[in-house]
Structure 1
């Protein structure tokens, strides 16, 4: 068993970064997820006050991902130029301003424009933070930081419902509708957190006043070694990557997963409201149940499958659960539908937990970084397709069942795609263990 020896100075520096930087980054991600999905709780209000039909709502919800995909790469380039402190702060303040502007929506076209602008404003935040990690942490510590950071995303799904539901209860205060209060206050929160982040974030190791000279040198040397190793990898164009069999399969599977994940995110409150007799706060609380169960299942599955050389069978089972859940949601009472959607959410979150480690190990090292970027950017367009399709089918059929059938079929097709994904020969056997580093 080989052992990686981490110098004390480097270990201390990594620990200080995790304690000082990660809390604000996790808070930023939590607010980020809340702001991009809060529109799911005001579908009925937008229809009544602004005339946004189900089709228009689905299209507007999805337009976010078009703006996000178009500006993701330019945003990351600007982050490298201006530094994380300036650029991540700019991103957050800008998207907060757009959210505040959404409280003034008065027609469908304004709804479309602001959802698109929200995607433009948020573009580059998530990959920007991951890029920030590469500038501060060696490979051996980056996985731990990413896992903690992603925990903020999981938590956001749980707290968004109750917080948004409580804000909607302000309906009538000062003569304003509850949904206008919700957008205004959540947008202002984003702006405040953005300014706070500007005081805490540090772009470069050399600028960290809380690191000693020895810690700066040790951490900088570790990061430089990783950068040198990555720089030797040959560059591959995105066009060629699109034609790469493995990248195409991974993209197709992730696209199908995104269809289900974002459809549940944007339409869950509407499905819960079908129970009837619930206040906005109660809808928010019930909407958190699927995500609470999903997060528990996600961490349980990750615990039992970490180190597994082949995650494909487990991923297939998770996708089958997602397919069964979305299909069962078309049957029975709204309460039964909530239970079924909970099963779908559990399957979807567990699938995501299993998918990304498999995707990382399933690509040759020479194309891993650009390949995963292609998978993420194209696959996330499922966030545009699913709410748009859901809204259209609801307007044309009067029910969400057609959309749920489509999601169920997409999950089944994703299982077929998983069966054809090949893992490298080295993945067939467990990798040598390395001694974990401690913060």
Structure 2
């Protein structure tokens, strides 16, 4: 590694990653804190598990519809302006969840929240491809997605304490939780406008030599990708391989969001636990996932391998969910949930190294958004199916078994999609 590469990538990583991690931390917490509010909301609003799972997951239908247009707008207007727009609208609507009065208003707010937040995650993934060469993406996306388990690990006990504000100024604790946790998103809007830089050519914080090296490296990789295959943005929407990667992502996202929405309720049912105790216990699997996500991304970059590192992690997710389904004791249940958390979170950043190795330019903006859209449909169907099964069986056993089957879908599809491109994926990782 040359001195200019080392200095450039160090500056880019320290400039962009901590800020984007904070933004995604806020985003993900605002997306899934509804799961922690679930037990109290269901009691106060008279919601069944099916109604709650449907409302929690309906967010992703709007997310699906607006994802690609949002990412194309980000490519057109720049990350700084568009991410700021996303943050202020989702912050306002996340806080509005405090004022729902039943299933109808809950569904409406969740739909609007999904439309508002659409494009943030795939937009940042696309944004990172404008700054980081392929060889860095496993660890970089891992660090960025570190915000998912970290937000749940830290946010769970915080949410537990906020739920204890029940009765202050006539509001329920879950209402205070939504209001207080929405404020950072609104405040960060100004930070995005002031801090982010759209492209390397505009980076005044890089030297001329560093900008030249980074632009040349990224342009060289783009030419190499386009020499193999070139997509128009709309062609990515019907490309079988892109759709296949979307289904791989669905197999990982479905259990991710189902646990995000229902895991506090699963833990609560294990004994006479307070909100704060549930918060800390709920944080444990996410803490495991946060650490292993970053370490597994580093390992994947080091060995220059994407396919089998993704498959192994997905297999661990299935094993963990099977353990959680088969045990009703607190310790073994948490061990299973922690292993599932490791598998899901370790697989996610490495998975994204696969499609970004074949997409570039505006096709990357559309393709990444489309993969994320298809995958995030699992955020709708997963919680809904789990809620239906829970209502009909009175427990979590069959719902967790269903979730355990979904990462197997991801494994099969990765084996199919990456039969020939395995070598090229490794080569892309080594570039």
Would you say the 8 A contact 1:264–1:345 is kept in 2?
no
Listed as ranges, the matches of 1:147-158 within 5 Å are 147-158=142-153
Structure 2 length-normalised TM: 0.86
Match of 1:420 among 396, 408, 416: 416
Q: Does 1:202 align with 2:194?
A: no
Trace 1:316-355 onto structure 2 (pairs within 5 A): 316-335=311-330, 336-355=332-351
Report deviation, 1:32. 0.8
**What is the alpha-carbon distance in structure 2 between the residues aligned to residue 105 and residue 270 of structure 1?**
20
Rate the CA distance shift 1:328–1:80 in 2: closer, same or farther, 3 A: closer
Match in the other structure for 2:78: 83
| Equivalent position of 1:258 in the other structure | 253
Return the alpha-carbon distance in structure 2 between the equivalents of residues 367 and 204 of structure 1. 14
Q: Matches of residues 21-32 of structure 1 in structure 2 within 5 Å?
A: 21-32=16-27
CA contact under 8 A between 1:272 and 1:334: conserved in structure 2?
A: no
User: What corresponds to 2:393 in structure 1?
Assistant: 397
Q: CA deviation at 1:304?
A: 4.3
Residues 45 and 179 of structure 1 are in contact (CA less than 8 Å); yes or no, is this contact kept in structure 2? yes
The 2-side partners of 1:382 and 1:140 are apart by 29
Greater gyration radius: 1
Alpha-carbon distance in structure 2 between the residues aligned to 1:397 and 1:315: 33
CA distance in 1, matches of 2:301, 2:253: 23
Written as runs of structure 1 = structure 2, the 5 A alignment for 1:56-135 is 56-135=51-130
Structure 2 partner of 1:183: 178
Question: How far has the Cα of 1:86 moved from its partner?
Answer: 1.9
What is the alpha-carbon distance in structure 1 between the residues aligned to residue 394 and residue 292 of structure 2? 33
Unaligned residue ranges in structure 1 (runs of 5+): none
TM-superposed CA distance for 1:426, in Å, is 6.5
Contact persistence 1:170–1:178 (CA under 8 A):
yes
Go from structure 1 to structure 2 and tell me whether the alpha carbon gap of 1:241 and 1:197 turns closer, same or farther (over 3 Å shift): closer
> Could you say if the C-alpha distance between residues 392 and 312 of structure 1 is closer, same or farther in structure 2, counting changes exceeding 3 Å?
same
Q: Aligned residues, how many?
A: 428
Q: How well do the aligned residues superpose, as a CA RMSD in angstroms? A: 3.4
Provide the TM-score with structure 1 as the length reference.
0.84
SS at match of 1:343: helix
State how far apart, in whole Å, the 1-side matches of 2:310 and 2:126 are.
Answer: 27
**Which residue of structure 2 lines up, in the alignment, with residue 381 of structure 1?**
377
Pair 359,74 (structure 1): closer, same or farther in 2 beyond 3 Å: closer
For the residue of structure 1 that corresponds to 2:273, the secondary structure is coil
- Assess if the C-alpha contact under 8 Å between 2:72 and 2:362 holds in 1: no
SS at match of 2:82: helix
Higher share of residues assigned helix: 2
CA gap of 1:322–1:145, structure 2 versus 1, over 3 A, is closer
Structure 1 distance, partners of 2:372, 2:38, is 28
Check conservation: 1:271, 1:334, Cα contact below 8 A: no
1:82 and 1:243, CA in 2 relative to 1: closer, same or farther beyond 3 A? closer
What are structure 2's unaligned runs of at least 5 residues?
A: none
Q: Residues 360 and 368 of structure 1 are in contact (CA less than 8 Å); yes or no, is this contact kept in structure 2?
A: no
